[in-house]
Amino acid sequence: MAPAVLIENLQKRYGTVEAVKDVSFTVESGEIFGLLGPNGAGKTTTLRALCTLTTPDAGKIEVSGVSVLANPRVARQKLGYVAQEVALDKVLTGRELLQLQAALYHLPSAVGKQRIETVLDLLNLQEYADKKTGTYSGGLRKRLDLAAGLLHAPDVLVLDEPTVGLDIESRFIVWEFLRKLRASGTTVVITSHYLEEIDALADRVAIIDRGVVIACGTPSQLKDRVGGDRITLRIREFSPIEEAEKAKHLLQTLPLVQEVIINTAQGNSLNLVVTPQNDALITIQQALNTAGLPIFGIAQSRPSLDDVYLAATGRTLMDAELAAVANRDPKAEKKQNMR
């Protein structure tokens, strides 16, 4: 059986901006597959290519065995797409908007009416269905957008940052809905830069950085590859690089320390992977005290998806987000959005 989604060697450039360099992954039928990465990593461009909204420069894309590039009309019938930005006509009621969507999908009248009731029930929107969408809260607008994406019963639902800007309660409502959707057999592809969202929802995840997939697997597999516990250590609030290097060389001699990375974006803090043991913090503190190195702060935790990203790139997802904002090219971004 063909995978629900197959992407091989995807490439896309906007002028001088190489949005996607080389992205490959497969999504199995009936799973939630997460794309995790900072803004500007290539997640949205990958989804737009999958949903026939942009033409890649190179690569292969299939949905349930159908080539997206050779047969886009057939592929669209198998896809539901919910963009990051919600676009609703404020003068229409929720039901009217779904009726318009059903007409755009050329659904027979009886089928459209039945599916509208189904998605309204599924997303608990019945009591709001006949109110104008201009009166909806952000969470209701997002739920109606999800309903529109599901109306034609797609094989694959593609969601680009579905909970951005939502309050915690609305986010949990969307999460529970996606779990029910997976249980019903629908495949879900979701992008996010929220670590906890992908960790909580995804059966498997691909981490994208600068247009390349740097890791792929289940969240547990990816965290296990990091190995051991994570310790974050600051010699000072903002340590000189020389002092951080001295601490790094010292810590690398300790048997329990597996790896040390200096995080220059966070004041030359040190990120350690250590063999789990109860006295790990005490052992590290004693070694630094003996060498005359102070400790401004120290904390120990189990590995996270951010640790996976840090191990692969030498920076955290937050660092990458800040770098993307600092390096953003408004002209290139405007050109990409126009396409």
Which pLDDT tens digit goes with each residue over 5-14? 999 999 999 9
- Please determine, for residue 308, whether its predicted confidence score (pLDDT) is greater than 50: yes
pLDDT confidence of residue 338: 47
User: Are residue 48 and residue 160 in the same domain, yes or no?
Assistant: yes
How many separate domains does the chain show? 2
Tokens of 40: 């500007």
Instruction: Provide the CA 327 distance to its chain's centre, in angstroms.
Output: 20
User: Are residue 70 and residue 211 in the same domain, yes or no?
Assistant: yes
Judge whether 308 lies within some domain: no
When pLDDT is cut at 50, 70 and 90, the band that residue 182 belongs to is: very high
When pLDDT is cut at 50, 70 and 90, the band that residue 324 belongs to is: low
Q: Are 201 and 177 in contact (CB under 8 A)?
A: no
Q: Which domain holds residue 269?
A: 228-302
User: Are residue 251 and residue 170 in the same domain, yes or no?
Assistant: no
pTM value > 0.85: no
Query: What residues contact residue 94 under an 8 Å CB cut-off, 6+ apart?
Result: 120, 125, 128, 129, 130, 131, 133, 136, 144, 147
Judge whether 338 lies within some domain: no
- Please determine, for residue 332, whether its predicted confidence score (pLDDT) is greater than 50: no
Give tens-digit pLDDT for 209-266.
Answer: 999 999 999 998 888 887 788 899 999 988 899 999 999 999 999 999 999 999 988 8
Residue 26, φ and ψ in degrees, nearest 5: -125, 150
User: Are residue 57 and residue 76 in the same domain, yes or no?
Assistant: yes
C-alpha to C-alpha distance for 171 and 261, rounded to whole angstroms: 33
Q: Are 222 and 199 in contact (CB under 8 A)?
A: no
Neighbours of 134 (CB within 10 A): 12
Choice among 113-122, 134-143, 316-325 with the minimum mean pLDDT? 316-325
Judge whether 313 lies within some domain: no
User: Largest alpha-carbon pair distance within the chain?
Assistant: 78
Give tens-digit pLDDT for 19-33.
Answer: 999 999 999 999 999
- Please determine, for residue 330, whether its predicted confidence score (pLDDT) is greater than 60: no
